[in-house]
Amino acid sequence: MRLPRMSRILATLAAAAMAAIGAVAVGSAPASAAVRNVCYNTSQAGPFAGYANQAATIWNNATNNINMAQCGSNLMIYYTYGGGSYAVRNSLGNGYVVIDYYQAQQYSPLRIMTHEIGHILGLPDNYNGNCAILMSGGSAGTSCTNPYPSAGEAATVDSYFRTAVRSATTAQVFTGSWPAPVGALR
């Protein structure tokens, strides 16, 4: 009976480890063992709930190791009026996103949403002005409406959720991703 007992202990430890990174294992089949649910909640997202759903679909399609679904409140989606959109990551897959209603009238709301969720999924900003890079945020200008992570960005997220890289799990607040364009009223 030693081995089964050890298996239970290991399973408990594995569950605790996944809980620590805010993820839930999907099923128990080895093939899906690496997939982590990222449970988002749009009850406070107001007019941006639909964008959150679209962003979740984009991330699900772009990655192999995460499954975003409305299965809990690991990731809350909020909105506000003014002050800028931002993301607060408590740990990998855990935190909240705040969408600035006014900012979303200047920049693509879907790009903002997908970008801010990208922070929750472990990505830092990369203000290189390249519209093909999701995490370039507002540096790519208001004309950039690309809501898709690059292959490299998606692969990076997959690597975080495969290995739970420690650097990606540290708590961090991301502000200023969408600076006001020149000539804008706000």
Nearest residue (CB) to Zn ion, 37 versus 108: 108
Point out which span in 40-48, 96-104, 121-129, 143-151 binds Zn ion (CB under 5 A): 121-129
Could you say which of 68, 104, 125, 134 contacts Zn ion (CB under 5 A)? 125
Backbone conformation region of residue 129, classed left if phi is above 0, alpha if psi is from -120 to 50, else beta: left
Spatial CB neighbours of 175, under 8 Å, sequence gap ≥ 6: 84, 86
Classified as helix, coil or strand, 13 is helix
Q: Which stretch binds Zn ion (CB under 5 A): 8-16, 21-29, 90-98, 130-138?
A: 130-138
Identify whether the C-beta of residue 134 lies closer than 8 Å to the C-beta of residue 118: yes
Binding mask 154-183 for Zn ion (x = CB under 5 A): --------------------x--x------
How many residues of this chain interact with Zn ion, rule: CB under 5 A? 4
Q: How far is the CB of 158 from Zn ion (least distance, A)?
A: 19
Q: Taking contact as CB under 5 A, which single stretch among the options 38-46, 77-85, 91-99, 117-125 is the one that binds Zn ion?
A: 117-125
Active site residues: 116
Nearest to 152 by CA among 178, 175, 130, 174: 130
Nearest CB to Zn ion, comparing residues 72 and 83:
83
Q: DSSP states of 35-94 as a string? A: -EEEEEE-TT-GGGHHHHHHHHHHHHHH-SSEEEESSSSSEEEEEESSS--EEEEEETTE
Name which position in 84, 122, 137, 138 contacts Zn ion (CB under 5 A). Answer: 137
Q: List residues near Zn ion by CB under 5 A.
A: 125, 137, 174, 177
